[in-house]
Copies of this chain bind each other. A is one copy, B any other.
Amino acid sequence: MEVTRSNFLQLLPSIKEAIAKCDFIVIDCELTGLNTVNNINAFDTQKQYYEKVRRNSKDFLIIQYGLCMFRYDVDKKVYKQQGYNFYIFQTGANKFVPDHRFLCQSSSLDFLSGSGFDFNKLFKEGISYLNSNEEEKCRASLSDAQKVRANKLHNNSFTPEKCNQAINDEDKELVNNIFNEIRDFIASDKEEHVLPKCNAYIRRLVYQQAEAKLANKASLETRALENRDHVLVVTRLKSKEDREAMNRKVVEREEEQLRQSIGFASVIKAIVESVRFPIFF
């Protein structure tokens, strides 16, 4: 079965169950390249052979991971199999995913393309992943950011960032227009309002004046859209409780984003945790 970003979380429980219950697993990978291993010889042990191939493949990327779990059916005396084919790719769609550089080899891409590999699906629908180091770093930085925010909330300050940037006339007009829009929103009965798209610099200028100009009537938040644009969202604030509830929502969203970024790594973890059988290379 083909697994992409769209159906991964839905299929994950049954994949983990199949891993936990199987007798053995067969793994196959597609890579962006494969250096010819010149130093392999007939006297290499399996371990030496594996190490050499591994060393030569390290700069390339695994882009498809085939996993097949086999389980012996005692009654029918046959092996039953459950197979999955994962498109995997680390996208920069959220702040947790590192922006990797990796090698490709023309002939490998040519071979994959000739075999019908769908590169558009890979880059659009590939499942993200973080290795354990990356995951640890992300958890630490997220935890720090959440503590800073909780502290600000406790001290009645909701501005995500304090800065004091000089502002030119042209930008001043832009920022004033945004605050006029925010004032209209406050005067309305809407709960939330998405501000017109503006760049990171303008967003910073808006944040810089938010605390003084909004007087705890509304809260600002930067939100990443599906199309990778970033927009400012202004939300009505009624009480400290409301702000705390909103912060909890943000924390939930961040945790969900981190879970999605870890993505395919949970399959690898499930395999590692379930190892009750020898590993053959």
Chain B residue nearest to A107 in the complex (CB): B92
In whole angstroms, how far apart are the Cα atoms of A106 and B109 in the complex? Answer: 16
CB distance from A255 to the nearest CB of B (A): 22
Q: How many residues of A contact B (CB 8 A)?
A: 34
With most chain B CB atoms within 10 A of its CB, the pick from A93, A100, A105, A120 is A120
Q: Is A97 an interface residue (CB 8 A)?
A: yes
Q: Is A2 an interface residue (CB 8 A)?
A: no
Q: Is A103 an interface residue (CB 8 A)?
A: yes
In whole angstroms, how far apart are the Cα atoms of A91 and B114 in the complex? Answer: 11
Chain B residue nearest to A123 in the complex (CB): B113
Residues facing B in A167-181 (CB within 8 A) are none
Q: Is A184 an interface residue (CB 8 A)?
A: no
Q: Is A119 an interface residue (CB 8 A)?
A: yes
Residues facing B in A116-136 (CB within 8 A) are 118-120, 122-124
Q: Is A51 an interface residue (CB 8 A)?
A: no
CB distance from A9 to the nearest CB of B (A): 20
The answer on a CB contact under 8 Å between B103 and A101 is: yes
Q: Is A110 an interface residue (CB 8 A)?
A: yes
Contacts of A103 in B (CB 8 A): 101-104
CB distance from A35 to the nearest CB of B (A): 8
Q: Is A32 an interface residue (CB 8 A)?
A: yes
Contacts of A263 in B (CB 8 A): none
Q: Is A158 an interface residue (CB 8 A)?
A: no
Assuming the A-B contacts A120-B118, A123-B119, are A101 and B105 also in contact, with contact meaning beta carbons closer than 8 angstroms in the complex? yes
The answer on a CB contact under 8 Å between A114 and B228 is: yes
State which of B90, B92, B106, B122 has its C-beta within 8 Å of the C-beta of A100: B106
Contacts of A90 in B (CB 8 A): 106
Residues of A at under 8 Å CB distance from B? 32-33, 35, 61, 89-93, 97-107, 109-114, 118-120, 122-124, 227-228
